Amino acid sequence: MWLMLVLHFVVSSVDAQDVMFGQNKYIEYQVGNMSLILTVPHGGSITPNTIPSRDAGCYDKVTKMCIYTHNCPSGSVKDSTNCKATTVKDLYTMETALSLSKEISRLTGGYCPHVIINHLSRSKLDPNRDKDEAAFGIPEAEQAWDDFMNFIGLAKSQMSTGLLIDIHGQAHPEQWIELGYLISMSNLDSGKFSAADSSIYSLSKQLTDISFDTLLRGSRSLGKFIEEQNGKYICVPSPTNPAPNGGNYFSGGYIVSTHGSKLKGQVDAIQIELPRWIRESTERPRFSIALAKALLNFYDIKLGN
């Protein structure tokens, strides 16, 4: 029986992974063959001078709206308080995604997740924002944004159910791992939320015998599966920290809200925000093994196309 399983993996695995690129190689797509997608929107460092740097949007005092462009329309002015554009890089997130991909491949006998990487500096493009704020109306950046989203769509089209993990870094003093499901900090604290509000709505509908609270932060949650690998990897939400309880926390951004299962479809999504000590080369290999195992325990990831 064991021999048959081994043979099956050998025959089904691919030898070399296909890689696709968007325009100017700003966006890279490592084509996978399992129902798992890893996205890295903020780990890039290319700064082409053909794309003006993202700074602040223009604030219109009458409509109280931000217009993300470099030439403010009349009646609006650049406003770095009301219309701030975040440009900080999430250091080592690309390295973390690639290390995680390698470990998942090792654990599954050669199958690969889909990996989508933005190589542009966040000062030029932020794919975790809607198109206007992401690209400031610059066609070259808008094309890269389209490439990033189209590659996610292409990856999703190869699976029925699946999971997208959007990988980020944060510098919060708690130094914990923040798992974002689109449930806000205050709603986690108060307990006022439902599965339909979340980016794992599809998964919750499949697991009808498990309460959403158990799936989000209890014995069946990703936080629990990560923490059981190593007690140093404190997660929120999880059984140890069911809510941020006044601490710093990111609940998820454009990518998980657009490409998770809150709005439609059967691909779930979770934003994972890592503290720096976990992304550093000293911890990264150990953490990649832990997260790979936790993801395979948490989700029924399908191998093969």
* Cβ nearer to Zn ion, comparing 42 with 156: 42
The candidate with the shortest Cα–Cα distance to 289, out of 17, 101, 94, is 101
User: Phi and psi dihedrals of 27, rounded to 5?
Assistant: -115, 135
Cβ distance to Zn ion smaller for residue 87 or 158: 87
Q: Strands 19-21 and 76-78: what pairing?
A: unpaired
Which lies closer to Zn ion via its Cβ, residue 42 or residue 259? Answer: 42
Using the contact rule CB under 5 A, the part of the chain among 38-46, 98-106, 184-192, 277-285 near Zn ion is 38-46
Judged by CB under 5 A, the number of residues near Zn ion is 3
- What is the closest distance, in whole angstroms, from the C-beta atom of residue 223 to Zn ion in the complex? 19
Q: How near is the Cβ of 42 to Zn ion at its closest, in Å?
A: 4
Q: 284 with 95: CB under 8 angstroms?
A: yes
- Taking CB atoms, the residue at the shortest distance from Zn ion is 168
- Taking CA atoms, 248 is separated from 81, 198, 223, 269, in Å, by 20, 19, 16, 21
CA angle in degrees (0–180, nearest 5) for 71-143-181: 95
The stretch near Zn ion (CB under 5 A) out of 27-35, 110-118, 160-168, 254-262 is 160-168
Q: Is 168 in the site for Zn ion (CB under 5 A)?
A: yes
User: Which neighbouring-strand residues pair with 67?
Assistant: 58
Cα dihedral sign for 234, 237, 239, 243?
positive
- CB closer to Zn ion, 117 vs 203: 117
Q: Does 90 bind Zn ion (CB under 5 A)?
A: yes
Using rule CB under 5 A, residue 42 touches Zn ion: yes
The nearer residue to Zn ion, 89 or 102, going by C-beta atoms, is: 89
* Residue ranges in contact with Zn ion by CB under 5 A: 42, 90, 168
